[in-house]
Homo-oligomer: A and B are copies of this chain.
């Protein structure tokens, strides 16, 4: 397989969804007309670390690589623009395999209005994918960083947690897709940004850890009522049957790619409606922002967890 031939085949399949791309893959660089401000994130997945080819199809691996990168844009409230993809191709992955990876990405790219605008293919010992995504907004103030939460804000969460961790246990059934084909909350992120979210982060490492990042970067404390967190149907049962604590799934399990945001109480209803209109999912109040530092998580029955403490629940 020649690199040039593969690149040519790949170029034919790259969907240029947006109107921002003036010159796509195949020149020295892609040329785009950005918005007034851009948000850029990179994410890499490596075989044996982030996925196994026995457990996921190539299309699912491609989907997830792009989905995790787009989830970071969702957490900024950015409008997806372009994605650039590096594929490290091991000896046992043929040209059709590369195309299958890319088709998994292309389907999600089309669904989210993302242009696959460029890439690079290289030989490698193990399969890896590195994805750079660029999102746009009118001005830098339109983006929601992790650093703007203010005491008095309420803490809200999109969708439900626990599904991806349970899907990892099962790798079968309806929760399997939650693990293998996560959906970045692009619409919800833009809706929350538009409704005045003061800080936002995506739940990739687990609610316990990611809420800590938001608290630290905002210089505030968070108080989370664990019993208010919506749990994916079946996740508690799977946790129990696997001998685990359901709270470990909810608080420590990552890869749900829901969004955690802070927002003033006055705008909560507006945000809830905007998220429902944008993505058809619920926005749930799960806690509050307080002065101080750290995250206090209250479990049913009066137990309280300090940051990091959720790890000891397992």
Contacts and interface: CB of A to CB of B under 8 A. Distances in A.
B140 A44 contact: no
B29 A123 contact: no
Interface string A130-168: 101111000010010111000000000000000000000
Contacts of A30: 39-41
A217 interface: yes
A36 B33 contact: yes
Given A86-B130, A130-B130, A31 B143 contact: yes
Contacts of A119: 42
Give how many copies assemble into the complex.
2
Interface stretch (A73-81, A171-179, A236-244): A73-81
A201 interface: yes
A26 B41 CA distance: 10
Interface residues of A, number: 60
A262 to B, nearest CB: 14
A122 B27 contact: no
A46 interface: yes
Interface string A262-278: 00000000000000000
B42 A86 contact: yes
A28 B75 contact: yes
Given A33-B36, A88-B44, A124 B134 contact: no
A121 B25 CA distance: 26
Contacts of A29: 39-41, 72-73, 75-76, 78, 133, 135, 143
